[in-house]
Amino acid sequence: MGSKIIIFYRLAQSSNPKLGITITKKWGKAYRRNRFKRVVREAYRHESLKLPPNIELNVHPRKHYEKLLPKEVQLDLRMLATICDRKCFGI
């Protein structure tokens, strides 16, 4: 979605949105990987109620992920929610 993250999603049978974060050792030291996960989780907490209830997400980093801010992830999640609404409900 954004320039610093990739979001894979699918609509499943679950009743709550689910989040997965995938970042391997090739992306740098542990403190950088952990910061990425903290930022994504924080943004997800703010936006989870706006997402469809049956969505499952998996977030991966892209280049320059070290400078990622929660606001950027929130914006990407909002765009994803809009896309899902259009796909699911034909809006």
Q: What is the largest CA-CA distance in the chain?
A: 43
What pLDDT does 14 receive? 78
**55, 84 Cβ separation under 8 angstroms:** yes
Range of the domain at 62: 5-89
Q: Model confidence over 57-91: pLDDT tens digits?
A: 999 999 989 889 999 999 999 898 888 776 665 54
What pLDDT does 84 receive? 78
CATH code, domain carrying 23: 3.30.230.10
User: What does DSSP say about strands 55-61 and 18-21: parallel, antiparallel, or unpaired?
Assistant: parallel
Q: Model confidence over 2-45: pLDDT tens digits?
A: 688 999 998 888 788 899 999 999 999 999 999 999 999 999 99
Strand 55-61: give its sheet, edge to edge. 5-11, 55-61, 18-21
* Cα end-to-end span (Å), the chain: 20
Question: Model pTM?
Answer: 0.86
Q: How many domains does the chain have?
A: 1
